[in-house]
Structure 1
C-alpha cells in the first residue's frame, strides 16, 4: 500500500442530495488516516437503481463512466455498502473482455469507508468522545456483499464515552431494499415495524449504520412513532460530527 494512498471519494447520490455531512465526515476520516483524497466532479450514480430494476444496459453505461473516472486512484472509497457492492459487481455487466478487466481491477480496489479504515489502513479512533448509548444495524449490502460486521463495532469501541448496546436482529433487513420498498410496501412496512420495535427496546440514544438509505428508512419510521432515538451514519460518530441534527431532523 502506498505511504499516502490516493483515494477517489465516491460520494453517492443519497449523501450528495440528502446528507452531505456524511461525505464530509468520510473525507475527514480519510485525511486523518493519512490519505490524499479527491472528489471527482465527473462522478455519477453507481447504476444500482437501474440494475436492480432490470436495466442492464443503463447500469453498464453508468459502470463504464464510474470506471473511467476512478480507475486512476489507488482506491475508490464510499460511505455506502450498497454502492460499493454494485461497483464490485461491475465485471458481471461487461460483455467486452477489455472492459471486464478494467471493471475487475476497480472492483478489487473499492471499499466502503468503515471496511477501508479498519481492514486496509488499520485505523483506530484517537481522541474521539461521545457521551451516549448506541445500537448498530447491519445494512444488508455491507454485511452480505462486503463482509462488514465486526469492523464498525471494533471502531466504535474506540470512541470514549460511547456505550454500545446489542440490537436483536441487527443483521435482518430494515425493509428498505432500494426499490423493494416501493414495489412491496406492505412487506417493507412489516419488516420495518419489527426493526424499529427492536431498536426502541434497546433504550439506546442513537441508532448507527453504514448506509444512508437504511438510516433514512428507519429514522422516518422512528420519528413517526415518536421515538427519541436519533440516527447517524457511523462515519459521523467516528469523525466527531454527531453533535448536530440527526438524520431526519435537518431543516
Structure 2
C-alpha cells in the first residue's frame, strides 16, 4: 500500500466514531500516527486502542475551549513529535425550526462547528508555523452549508461559516506552506442518518443522482487526499462529496 502520510502526525477531532474514526484509521493505514480528540475522552482512548497503541492515542477535548484545543495539540507533539495534519471534524446537531429553536441550541451548534473549527485552525497553524515544515488543515463543512436545510438554521449557518473560515485562513497561512481546505459531505450512512424516518430518508435519496448514500470511508478518502501531498497545489478549496446531490 502507498503510504502517502508516512511519518506524519495527524490530529482528528470528533474521532471516536463515525467519519472521524474512519479518517483516523485510514491515516494510520497510510503511515501516519494519529491523536484522536473527542469530548468523550474514554471513547477516544478506546478507539485509539483499537487502532493500535503504537500509532494512535486518544485525548479528551472540548473543541469550544481554546485551552483544551492547545492541550490536544501539545499532547500530539509530546506523543509523536509534532503536528503535520489537523482535521477539524467534531460536530453536533440540534435540529429544530427557527420558530422552535432556542438560543442555546443555536449557540451550541455554532460553538462546536464554527468556533471549534476556528480554534483548531488557529492553534494548529501556530504549531505548524513554529515547526517550520508546513502542514495541512482539513475542515469539515456540509452540503447544508451550501444550500441550507429546513430545520437547520444553526447547522447551515455554522457549516457555511466553516467555508468562509477555510478560505480566509488559507490566504493567511499560505506564506508558511500551510494548506487549509474543506470537505462538504452530503448524505452519509452513519448511525445518526440511519435513524431517520423512512419518508425523510427516501426524500433525500431522491435528490442524489448516484442513487445511494455515501460511506464514511468515502469521506475519509477525500480527507486523505487533502491531508497529503497528492493535493499539494490546493488550498482554500471546498470539495463536495455528495453523489451529485444539489449540484
Q: Give me the TM-score of the superposition, normalised by structure 1.
A: 0.36
Q: Give me the TM-score of the superposition, normalised by structure 2.
A: 0.37
